[in-house]
Structure 1
Amino acid sequence: MKRMRSILLALTSIVATVKAAAAVEISVLYPQPYLYQAPIEEIVKKFAEKRPDIQIKLLAPTKNYEEAASAVLRSAIAGGMPDVVFNGTNLMHLFVDRKLAVSLDGFVGAEKEWNKQGYVPGMVSTGVVNGQLYGLPFALSTPIMYVNVDLLKRAGGSPDALPQTWPAVLDLAQKITNKEAGIDGSYLLWTTTGNYLWQELLFTHGGEMVSSDGKSVGFDTPAGLKTFEVLHDLVTQGGMENLTDEQATQAFIAGRIGLFFCSSARVNSFTKQIGNRFELRTAPFPSPMPDSKVVSGGATMMIFAKDAEKQAAAWEFIKFAAGPVGQTIMVRHIGYMPSNRIAIDTPEMLGNFYRDNPNMRTAITQLPRATRWLGFPGSNSLKAIQVIYDGMESVVAGRVAPKEALDRSATQIQALLPK
């Protein structure tokens, strides 16, 4: 009997080894581990339960989308590109133009009843480049305003009448600011990857990044000037300090900043870290026009595998991550918007979650005004992003006036655009 048990155990081990050997392994690269690590690891675990024939190898994450893009471009030259990459939606053209990314149209066409799997068409469309689908949305967000209600009330404000325009924001921020007590009225996270908040300021003021043919800067306008003026005014009137992302985040969590402007991706993180320290509210991003455009961007999943078997396995993984289970996991970990209708409508998935978490609903209310998160065209896109960063930093640090920052940025980026 003991011998029979040993034989069975040995056979079981052999079968498991054979199955593991037969499994297709795909490598996956993602950025911003402070946001994505927990949900992606849980999704990988759930996916393994459903598809043990596909093994997911998570590569060391990068700091941001730009670093992920650079890693892909380097590996395209040296060899060994990741099979799946979570890229910023604003950088997709870099890989499409170089013919590195795999079109997903064929996979979608082969799916039975694709339209019944819950993928929201408008959000899926963010993965379209040059008329073809190259990415499935994993996590999309809109910029919002986070409010320390305790500081707001002390300044005489009302949580039921939050500021909707920048003049109103500056007025309230001035009242909240108390430098002697270490309280800053406001902070706008201008360092966000891909000039995300700069684009939001530009689009809400009716501006454009580039001309329709992509060969000329489009922000050398009053709307473009406003992007730098808002930053300048937040520093000079709104009590904003020149802090790093980490410093500003910790200051807000500690209750030392009244109004904080950044992506809705941080709702869950802020809620958990703030706890009972103060009452947190979220509100739409300020705008001079109620119907202005709101930037919707985030991570899209792209396939770079060249082997057909790996491509098929990669498709199964990104489809799962964008599906009801994957999107439920993602939203419960971070504050991005789900791209799957089944997850949104099912009570035990996200239906009850949104009912019980009103701060999470703010981003979704802005969806009717959503516009795409863009990248500068051409091969110098990453350099152009850095130019905008440098311009914003020079204004926040008080080294140059908004007009000079605008002129310098426009001149430098014009030289980087396709001729």
Structure 2
Amino acid sequence: MKKVLLSVLATTFVLSACGQGTADKPAAQNGNASSSPAETAKAADKPVDVQFYFPVAVGGPITKLIDKLADDFHKENPNITVKPVYGGSYQDTMTKVATAVQGGNSPDIAVLLSTDLYSLLSMNAIEDLTPRFSKDYFNGFYEAFMGNTKSGDTVWSVPFQRSTIVMYYNKDLFKKAGLDPDKAPANWNELKEAASKLTVKDASGKVTQWGIEIPSTGYQYWMLQAMSLQTGTNIMSNDGKKVYFNKPEVQEALQFYTDLGRKDKVMPEGTLEWATVPSDFISGKTAMMFHTTGNLTKVKTDAKFNFGVAFLPANKQYGSPTGGGNLYVFKNIPEERKAAAVKFIEFLTKPERVAQWSIDTGYVGTTKASYETDLLKNYVKDFPQAAVARDQLQYADSELSTYQNGQVTKLFNDNIQAVLLGKMTPKEALDKSQQQADEILKSFQK
């Protein structure tokens, strides 16, 4: 939400197209009858209404961006009217999509979490997009973002609003503590040392400023996955059927995560709310934070101090999972609506639009071409922090995604939090997580 401005930018769309698509796309896929050029041209003259589901409150700042996208699309495609519908969240929308699919009233297109892939496949809900776009089109996206789009060589979704975890740090507080404000901690040891110097107590011994905050609600699995990648391993297979929660590298990562609060005393113990951590950073309550690059624009707008953005510190290597949402086209809809959905995806992923979306929201530009636009070139020149998440992609890997992903993620989150609260040891929690996940996934391994 991933990573996302979760409280503001947890963006999910559902597009219901009622008419014909483009004439320059493959007309027949998956057994649907193709249309002749004359039929396609005639259908292209018919008006098309598109419902575009988007999960923020009406009047929120992001609704203006979506309204503009809808208007711009209509200008290029006068016979297609996009009608945004606001409300819900990633989770809410996934529930609504699943209900609609099971009821035989499938949506046409949706932006859902990239990690929802195997849940959607298990419902036989989504269209194979491999033949819908050229290889050159897919090659235009950063490879790190393509990991969660695929199962094997089949592409099931298109990257849209994507992120990684980055480290934000308060340069003014670094300078005040005698640290180099232009040099972020590059490894775990440097992180602990800097965090110790940045943790400030008053005369009574009460902490008034923390060295670092790492969220521990909602997406603690994402944070732990980053530290596991930094230690040398990912936590799942690429086919959605296996997890590797109890590897020694994951235990080392969870021990480090836990020790920052319970042993090193440079991070608050217990629960750190996902949405509260950015507020703590912006208000100066913490000097550093791990969070989604989706918060970059918010920090840039609201922070009243000089701040830096850096790669997550390495243990044995750099590493971060990707995050965010992809565009999915649904299977059990007429061919003309699939074509319309593809046309809208093409519109949304044009380099200039990807660039503007990155600037407006803080998400990483998903395509290499977006960073060749004057828009992003000039933005990065004036605001180099915007390039950090892109540059970190060379060390990034796919986010946790399995069959029954909601169940697997929840049990893993619960057990990680039990460790952070001192209720279990890392080994106990990871062994339990592995056992529980194996039980859930065993039916998919046959």
TM-score above 0.5, yes or no: yes
- Counterpart position of 1:11: none
Report whether the alignment pairs 1:321 with 2:343.
no
Report whether the alignment pairs 1:137 with 2:159.
yes
Report whether the alignment pairs 1:397 with 2:426.
no
The equivalences for 1:18-57 within 5 A come to 22-30=46-54, 37-57=63-83
Name which of structure 1's ranges 391-400 and 244-253 shifts more when overlaid on structure 2. 391-400
Q: Provide the C-alpha distance between the structure 1 equivalents of 2:335 and 2:220, rounded to a whole number of angstroms.
A: 32
What is the Cα deviation at residue 390 of structure 1? 0.7
What is the Cα deviation at residue 229 of structure 1? 1.4
Name which of structure 1's ranges 299-308 and 383-392 shifts more when overlaid on structure 2. 299-308
Q: Provide the C-alpha distance between the structure 2 equivalents of 1:285 and 1:32, rounded to a whole number of angstroms.
A: 29
Contact persistence 2:221–2:416 (CA under 8 A): no
- Counterpart position of 2:4: none
Cα distance change, pair 216–123 in 1 and its aligned pair in 2 (3 A): closer
Aligned counterpart in structure 2 of residue 125 of structure 1, from 110, 127, 146 = 146
Aligned counterpart in structure 2 of residue 77 of structure 1, from 89, 94, 102 = 102
What is the Cα deviation at residue 385 of structure 1? 0.4
Q: Provide the C-alpha distance between the structure 1 equivalents of 2:172 and 2:229, rounded to a whole number of angstroms.
A: 31
- Counterpart position of 2:30: none
Equivalent residues, number: 390
Partner amino acid, structure 2, of 1:146? Y
Aligned counterpart in structure 2 of residue 177 of structure 1, from 189, 193, 199 = 199
Contact persistence 1:35–1:334 (CA under 8 A): no
What is the Cα deviation at residue 332 of structure 1? 1.3
Q: Residue 182 of structure 1 aligns to a residue in which SS? A: strand
Report whether the alignment pairs 1:362 with 2:388.
yes
Aligned counterpart in structure 2 of residue 247 of structure 1, from 276, 280, 291 = 276
What is the Cα deviation at residue 121 of structure 1? 6.0
TM-score (norm 1): 0.84
Q: Provide the C-alpha distance between the structure 2 equivalents of 1:132 and 1:394, rounded to a whole number of angstroms.
A: 37
Cα distance change, pair 381–331 in 1 and its aligned pair in 2 (3 A): same
Cα distance change, pair 318–67 in 1 and its aligned pair in 2 (3 A): same
Q: CA RMSD in A?
A: 2.8
- Counterpart position of 1:235: 261
Aligned counterpart in structure 1 of residue 289 of structure 2, from 260, 273, 285 = 260
Report whether the alignment pairs 1:102 with 2:127.
yes
Q: Provide the C-alpha distance between the structure 1 equivalents of 2:95 and 2:121, rounded to a whole number of angstroms.
A: 14
Segments of structure 2 that go 5 or more residues without pairing to the other structure are 1-42
Contact persistence 1:214–1:418 (CA under 8 A): no
- Counterpart position of 1:13: none
Partner amino acid, structure 2, of 1:282? V
- Counterpart position of 1:86: 111
Q: Provide the C-alpha distance between the structure 2 equivalents of 1:79 and 1:158, rounded to a whole number of angstroms.
A: 59
Q: Provide the C-alpha distance between the structure 2 equivalents of 1:30 and 1:391, rounded to a whole number of angstroms.
A: 32
What is the Cα deviation at residue 37 of structure 1? 4.5
The equivalences for 1:212-231 within 5 A come to 216-231=242-257
Going by fraction, where is helix more abundant, 1 or 2? 1
Partner amino acid, structure 1, of 2:143? G
Q: Provide the C-alpha distance between the structure 1 equivalents of 2:157 and 2:259, rounded to a whole number of angstroms.
A: 38
Cα distance change, pair 48–329 in 1 and its aligned pair in 2 (3 A): farther
- Counterpart position of 1:6: none
Q: Residue 417 of structure 1 aligns to a residue in which SS? A: helix
Partner amino acid, structure 2, of 1:240? P
Identity %: 23
Contact persistence 2:236–2:401 (CA under 8 A): no
Contact persistence 1:186–1:260 (CA under 8 A): yes
Contact persistence 1:228–1:405 (CA under 8 A): no
Q: Residue 285 of structure 1 aligns to a residue in which SS? A: coil
Q: Provide the C-alpha distance between the structure 2 equivalents of 1:129 and 1:162, rounded to a whole number of angstroms.
A: 37
- Counterpart position of 1:14: none
Cα distance change, pair 120–253 in 1 and its aligned pair in 2 (3 A): same
CA deviations on 1:9-68 (whole Å, 9 max, x unpaired) are xxxxxxxxxx9x94222333455778965543432232122123222233344333x443
Q: Provide the C-alpha distance between the structure 1 equivalents of 2:56 and 2:217, rounded to a whole number of angstroms.
A: 14
The equivalences for 1:333-348 within 5 A come to 333-347=360-374
What is the Cα deviation at residue 196 of structure 1? 2.4
Contact persistence 1:118–1:324 (CA under 8 A): no
TM-score (norm 2): 0.79
Cα distance change, pair 195–53 in 1 and its aligned pair in 2 (3 A): farther
Name which of structure 1's ranges 116-125 and 366-375 shifts more when overlaid on structure 2. 116-125
Partner amino acid, structure 2, of 1:297? G
